[in-house]
Structure 1
Amino acid sequence: MRSITAIGFDADDTLWQNEQFYRLTEEHFQKLLGDFAEGEHVSARLLEAEKRNLSYYGFGIKGFTLSMIETAIEITDGNVPTKTIGEILDIGRDLLRHPVETLPHVEETLRALNGEYLLVLITKGDLFDQERKLAQSGLGDYFDAVEIVSDKSATTYRRIFSKVADGPERAMMVGNSLKSDIVPAIAAGSYGVFVPHALTWVFEHVDAPIDAPRFRQIEHLGELAIVIEKIMAA
């Protein structure tokens, strides 16, 4: 019996660029509020708002845009110009239109694994935005199942891998977020393969579970096949 029959992939900053567009938007937001506060202060207050609002808006661009508006109101003591609110909405909409830039080694890796393993896209965020990016990426045909979730936990991975595959123990999760992709997948009983990205949202930072027997780390997706081969041969 094969030790791995299903492989889950995160989307944002694992298959395609994402965080870099948020960073550019945040820089624009800092400039919009430049008359009221220093850039670092604006970013710190925005992060506080994002964390505070996750339970209300979830992950994604819409929640990010609402958090920018809330931050602008707070920093200006309610005196934010109407024009600035409009500009914040504009840069939020721009985020929803950014092009999809596939990361190196992604398509060749998915092509090689397709048909050999059941491939599942497991991503969190805004439903419409994630569907748009998947469609524009041209990668959709490589996946046997797509799961867009509000958050990722061990329960999430147990549910998905039990529903579409042979259970979490015979599955692997691949992603750039230790907090969302790797730690909870390992807690569910799966393998977790960490693919670091140069830009990762601070909220996603946790220590790597280096002592976990099912933890692996690679530099890029081009190395995934080697990791899988070693696990299968063990």
Structure 2
Amino acid sequence: MISWIAFDADDTLWENEIYYQNAQKKMQEILAGYCSPETTNETLLQTETRNIPYFGYGIKSFGLSMIETAVQISNGEISAREIQIILESLKEMISTPVKLLPGVIKTIKILSKDYHLMVITKGDLLDQERKFKNSQLSPFVEVFEVVNAKEKSTYQGILDRWHILPKQFVMAGNSLRSDVLPVAAIGGIGVLISHYLTWDHEKSVNSDLQNFPYYEIDKIKKLPGLIDKINQSEQN
């Protein structure tokens, strides 16, 4: 029987990617004299991916990659004022109020009555803690984890630390790569909750994870019903 349900945070519980894309649009405007918006986006994604081993995930890594990309595309000609605009867009992202996605608070309240709830997110520690604190979800969540990466070993370590069996554990999120398949690979239950925006980096899936089964729903409000069906199927 399922006893623990974990959630990704960004674009599962609250809006996130839209703010990154808005910042990218400002960067596209700054670099419009050097290249097309498509080239800016492609170069930024390449830079972000290359920088993950150095800076990890999250808003600070994103900001450093934006500046590096701007310097690269402009051949070092970008001005201090233009870099300042990029930095201001990052500060604007950090100061943006948390916007919960539809159905989140009701679903969390329902599930918290019968299950232990956990949030597992990756990214910048300060930024994620700020968003969680302002989300109004903390009274219903027993465990909040900010990790450097979401891999099989990450989830196994969390389960071991909290003495949870994989078959008792559900992880729900909007990324197959990070939230769903690594959990399915260790024997847990992965649930993909679709979101209209997903970071391009999260759309690629490692080949060793592609064949593991998982569930998919289009709205978080459908999760309690899915959990009931999974529990019923295990009893039969």
TM-score bracket for this pair, using the shorter chain length = over 0.9
Q: Distance in 2 between matches of 1:55 and 1:211?
A: 26
The corresponding residue for 2:141 is 143
CA offsets per residue over residues 54-80 of structure 1, 9 Å max, x none?
Answer: 111111110111001101111111111
Contact 1:114 1:142 in 2 (8 A): yes
**Are positions 1:130 and 2:128 aligned together?**
yes
Contact 2:123 2:148 in 1 (8 A): yes
**Are positions 1:105 and 2:103 aligned together?**
yes
CA offsets per residue over residues 138-161 of structure 1, 9 Å max, x none?
Answer: 111111111100100111111112
Q: Distance in 2 between matches of 1:165 and 1:10?
A: 20
Q: Distance in 1 between matches of 2:43 and 2:103?
A: 37
**Are positions 1:227 and 2:226 aligned together?**
yes
Give, as a single letter, the amino acid of the residue that structure 1 aligns with 2:64.
Answer: L
The corresponding residue for 2:57 is 59
The corresponding residue for 2:201 is 203
Q: Distance in 1 between matches of 2:122 and 2:157?
A: 15
The corresponding residue for 1:190 is 188
Contact 1:158 1:188 in 2 (8 A): yes
Q: Distance in 1 between matches of 2:195 and 2:117?
A: 21
Contact 1:178 1:205 in 2 (8 A): yes
Contact 1:100 1:137 in 2 (8 A): yes
SS of 1:96 mapped into structure 2? helix
**Are positions 1:39 and 2:37 aligned together?**
yes
Shift of 1:207: 6.0
Alignment of 1:144-159 (within 5 A): 144-159=142-157
1:57–1:211 Cα change, 3 Å: closer
**Are positions 1:115 and 2:118 aligned together?**
no
Which residue among 162, 165, 174 is the counterpart of 1:164? Answer: 162
Give, as a single letter, the amino acid of the residue that structure 1 aligns with 2:193.
Answer: V
Q: Which region of structure 1 is more displaced relative to structure 2, 132-141 or 203-212?
A: 203-212
Q: Distance in 1 between matches of 2:205 and 2:226?
A: 21
Contact 1:145 1:164 in 2 (8 A): no
Q: Distance in 1 between matches of 2:156 and 2:210?
A: 22
Percent identity, aligned pairs only, is 39
SS of 2:196 mapped into structure 1? coil
Q: Which region of structure 1 is more displaced relative to structure 2, 115-124 or 157-166?
A: 157-166
Contact 2:118 2:142 in 1 (8 A): yes
Point out where structure 1 has 5 or more consecutive residues left out of the alignment: none
Give, as a single letter, the amino acid of the residue that structure 2 aligns with 1:183.
Answer: L
Shift of 1:206: 3.6
SS of 1:151 mapped into structure 2? coil
Contact 1:162 1:168 in 2 (8 A): no
The corresponding residue for 1:216 is 215
Point out where structure 2 has 5 or more consecutive residues left out of the alignment: none
Count of aligned pairs between the two proteins = 231
Contact 2:181 2:212 in 1 (8 A): no
Q: Distance in 2 between matches of 1:131 and 1:7?
A: 19
CA offsets per residue over residues 159-201 of structure 1, 9 Å max, x none?
Answer: 1122224222210000000000001010121000100100001
The corresponding residue for 2:7 is 9
Q: Distance in 2 between matches of 1:191 and 1:110?
A: 18
Contact 2:181 2:210 in 1 (8 A): no
Shift of 1:211: 6.0
